[in-house]
């Protein structure tokens, strides 16, 4: 935004450029309320050492706690601990979920020699199914859509038998998905 | 207001007439933004709006969130904009003890402002006069130069911090807060780390 304006007229930019923490996205001085304090501190020390020195210096911390009564300090500390534990638990849970969720690539026979390929379970890896479906369609030059499952949830249906290439493509493009979690299934039409 | 994480909806381009109207109402609400308006809302820029739950609308310019609005009421600045132009919005300051409550979405209560660490506008500040909108600002020690009325948008700063931590509308005028010293002051604020803050606007 700023660049285009500057090229037209030499307007002095008056907006401030605020640095945000790369871990919790808050301005670094508010990291202490985020629950991921340890990680924020490490990030700040690495990326903005000067700011780190200012915010987390012993004097600054002392000044921060001196303003509170001892009782309030205790409460704040307890609160912070609880928050940190909660954030950690959430992270753990997320990791577990990732490890246990399986992506199923299903080849479904539609008509003797014609197939569609269904991909189930990608949403567990935080992917936007609509966008992924578009990418699949582009890659294989076929129709690719998001369909609702009768059991709730959604799957991506790609036209044609692309199960093997699809596996490779997913592994290459979406690095979050571990290879062991991809499962290939062949679904024959029952007569 | 945005305690829960939000799901972004597709963005829609605004008509240039709507954009002009928005610019007008923006300057009417925040006269102090006048010198910076070209930087915030360039005439040529294409502003986009995003619908959010509960009849909220967020205005986005080049993936940078600028303002949000609840069902046609006053425009409120997104905190990222407040951080860019902190001097252009009326502000009050809360004490250190209140920060963690505000950052978890609690209603801001009067004691957080009336205590030693809090800052309310200076006593006996005159109300705004017609044509003199530019003559307001922070005077000594983080105090705003006039009393703020009920329903006015306000930025909430915090003791010992440089950046603002929340934005909301006053549920009670600042003179009333001083007189009573208790009760809610800002309800349903947009605060650091809430759903609106974490919303992906790209």
Question: Which one, of A29, A158, A21, lies nearest residue B99 by Cα?
Answer: A29
Give Dmax (Cα) for chain A.
78
* B100/chain A closest Cα distance in angstroms: 6
Give average pLDDT by consecutive 10-residue segment, chain A, 191 residues: 39 69 83 77 85 79 67 76 80 80 82 85 79 86 86 84 84 80 74 53
For range B73-82, the mean pLDDT:
87
**Alpha-carbon torsion (B149, B150, B155, B156), positive or negative:** positive
The answer to whether position A165 is within a domain reads: yes
Single residue among A99, A126, A148 that ends a domain in this structure: A99
A111 shares a domain with A40: no
Are A92 and A129 contained in the same domain?
Answer: no
B139-148, B161-170, B172-181: segment of lowest average pLDDT: B139-148
Same-domain pairing of A108 and A130: yes
Based on the fold, state whether residues A178 and A133 are members of the same structural domain.
Answer: yes
User: What pLDDT does B132 receive?
Assistant: 65
Which of the listed residues A99, A131, A153 is the one where a domain comes to its end?
A99
- For residue A66, what is the nearest residue in chain B, using CA coordinates? B96
pLDDT over threshold 80, residue B29: yes
Count other Cβ atoms within 10 Å, centred on residue B141.
Answer: 8
pLDDT on residue B167: 92
Is residue A43 one of the residues assigned to a domain? yes
Considering the domain architecture, whether residues A84 and A95 belong to the same structural domain is answered as yes
pLDDT, position A66: 65
The answer to whether position A20 is within a domain reads: no
d(CA A116, CA A114): 7
pLDDT(B123) > 70: yes
A117 and A84 in a common domain = no
Same-domain status, A91 and A138: no
User: All domains of chain B, ordered by start, with CATH?
Assistant: 11-82 (3.10.400.20), 84-191 (3.10.400.20)
Note whether A110 and A54 are same-domain residues.
no
Q: Mapping DSSP to helix (H, G, I), strand (E, B) and coil, where does residue B65 land?
A: strand
Among B39, B42, B165, beta carbon nearest to A30: B165
Q: What is the model's pLDDT at position A165? A: 85
Tokens representing residue B59 in the block = 């205005």
A1 in a structural domain = no
Q: End of a domain among A77, A99, A121?
A: A99
Q: Is the pLDDT of residue B16 over 80?
A: yes
Asked whether residue A95 is domain-assigned, the answer is yes
Say if residue A114 is in the same domain as residue A170. Answer: yes
Distances (CA, A) of B141 to A160, B92, B99, B152: 69, 11, 19, 21
> How far apart are the C-alpha atoms of A122 and A178, rounded to whole Å?
11
Residue B46 phi, psi (nearest 5): -105, 110
Instruction: Give the span between the Cα atoms of A121 and A104, in whole angstroms.
Output: 7
Choose among A11, A17, A33: nearest Cβ to B38.
Answer: A11
Mean pLDDT, all residues of chain B: 84
What are the distances in angstroms from CA A191 to CA A102, A109, A111, A167, B138? 29, 12, 11, 29, 80
Q: Which domain holds residue A57?
A: 28-99
In a domain, A5, yes or no: no
What is the mean pLDDT of the segment spanning B137-164?
83
Q: Give me the residue from A25, A29, A63 closest to B198, CB to CB.
A: A25
Output the domain CATH number for residue A165: 3.30.780.10
Question: A33, B163: Cβ pair inside 8 Å?
Answer: no
- Tell which residue, B175, B157, B52, has the closest CA to residue B121: B175
- For residues B78 and A190, the model is more confident at B78
Name the residue in chain A with its Cα closest to that of B62. Answer: A1
Q: Is residue A23 part of a domain?
A: no
Distance CA A8, CA A121 (A): 50
Predicted local confidence at residue A3, as pLDDT: 42
Most B CBs within 10 A among A23, A33, A64, hence the mutation to make, goes to A33
The verdict on A93 and A119 lying in the same domain is no
Predicted pLDDT of residue A2: 42
Split into its structural domains, chain A has a count of 2
DSSP per-residue letters across B29-55: H-GGGGGGHHHHS-TTS-EEEEEETTT
Is residue A17 domain-resident? no
What are the helix and strand counts (H, E) for chain B? 7, 10
What average pLDDT score do residues B174-182 get? 86
CA-nearest residue of chain B to A16? B84
Separation in Å, CA of A81 to nearest CA in chain B: 13
pTM, to two decimals: 0.71
Note the Cα B26 to chain centre separation in Å: 12
């Amino acid at each position: 935004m700023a660049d285009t304006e500057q090229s037209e007229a030499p307007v002095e930019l008056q907006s401030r450029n605020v640095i945000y923490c790369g871990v919790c996205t808050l301005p670094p001085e508010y990291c202490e309320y985020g629950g991921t304090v340890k990680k924020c501190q490490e990030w700040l020390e690495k990326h903005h050492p000067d700011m780190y020195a200012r915010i987390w210096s012993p004097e600054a911390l002392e000044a921060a706690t001196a303003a509170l009564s001892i009782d309030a300090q205790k409460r704040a500390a307890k609160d912070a601990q609880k928050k940190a534990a909660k954030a950690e638990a959430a992270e753990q849970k997320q990791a577990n979920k990732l490890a246990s969720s399986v992506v199923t690539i299903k080849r479904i026979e539609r008509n003797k020699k014609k197939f569609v390929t269904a991909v189930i379970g990608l949403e567990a890896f935080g992917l936007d199914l609509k966008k992924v479906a578009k990418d699949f369609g582009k890659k294989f030059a076929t129709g690719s859509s998001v369909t609702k499952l009768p059991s709730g949830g959604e799957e991506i249906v790609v036209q044609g038998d692309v199960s093997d290439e699809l596996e490779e493509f997913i592994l290459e493009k979406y690095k979050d998905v571990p290879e062991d979690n991809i499962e290939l299934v062949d679904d024959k039409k029952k007569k | 207001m945005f305690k829960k994480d939000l799901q972004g909806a597709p963005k829609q381009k605004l008509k240039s007439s709507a954009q002009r109207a928005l610019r007008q109402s923006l300057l009417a609400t925040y006269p102090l933004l006048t010198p910076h308006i070209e930087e915030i809302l360039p005439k040529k820029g294409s502003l986009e709006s995003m619908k959010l739950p509960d009849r909220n609308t967020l205005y986005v310019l080049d993936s940078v969130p600028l303002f949000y609005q609840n069902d046609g009421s006053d425009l409120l600045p997104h905190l990222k904009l407040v951080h860019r132009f902190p001097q252009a919005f009326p502000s009050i300051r809360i004490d250190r003890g209140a920060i963690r409550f505000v950052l978890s979405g609690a209603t801001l209560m009067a004691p957080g402002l009336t205590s030693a660490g809090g800052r309310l506008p200076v006593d006996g500040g005159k109300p705004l006069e017609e044509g003199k909108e530019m003559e307001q600002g922070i005077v000594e020690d983080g105090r705003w130069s006039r009393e703020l009325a009920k329903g006015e948008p306000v930025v909430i700063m915090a003791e010992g911090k440089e950046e603002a931590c929340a934005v909301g509308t006053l549920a009670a005028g600042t003179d009333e807060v001083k007189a009573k010293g208790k009760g809610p002051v800002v309800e349903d604020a947009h605060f650091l780390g809430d759903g609106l803050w974490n919303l992906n606007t790209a």
